[in-house]
Amino acid sequence: MGDWTGNWLFILTAVVLGTCFVIWLYKSKKPYLPYEKHESILTRSELVFYQVLKEAVAPYSFDIMCKIRMADFVTVESGAEEWRAHFNKIQAKHVDFLLVDNDTMEPLIVVELDDASHKRPDRMERDKFVDSVMAHCGIGILHIAVSKEYESDVISEQIHQLMKKLKI
């Protein structure tokens, strides 16, 4: 009877240790990543606007970039004083849409879709900063108020007028 109990304890210990080893091996091979994919990179209102914007830019040689980080298309001048501080101001800011030349990928026009949050003082200050950076860099900026409907020909005309002003 004693031999059977010893075997039973040995088997149970081996199973527990084996299970712990398999769990450790699995966790060591696959790091914990608490991420999941968004259904879309655009909000519902941004997606509605994007569809109209595609129509509006159809006559032009533009590609549309969505939710692009400012630091991906604007840089701090080499040798600028307090380079890091200036970079920090653009590294986490995004614009809603960026129109780029479809051959060269040159950034040409930013399109911001302004909802009610853009009336908050902090957002107004952010918009003023973004507008001034775009003006300094020769990139046009177009602010469009969020709406239930958009007219592609109206947006196309606004883009055309901005292109004339920028001599694009």
pLDDT digits (tens, 9 = 90+) for 15-57: 777 777 666 666 667 778 899 999 999 999 999 999 999 999 9
DSSP for the chain? -HHHHHHHHHHHHHHHHHHHHHHHHHHHHS--------S-SS-HHHHHHHHHHHHHTTTTTEEEEEEEEGGGT--PPTT-TTHHHHHHHHHT-EEEEEEEETTT--EEEEEEEE-GGGGSHHHHHHHHHHHHHHHHHT-EEEEEE--S---HHHHHHHHHHHHHHHT-
User: Which pTM was predicted?
Assistant: 0.79
- Average pLDDT of the chain, as a whole number: 90
pLDDT in tens, 61-88: 999 999 999 999 999 999 999 999 999 9
How high is the pLDDT of residue 94? 96
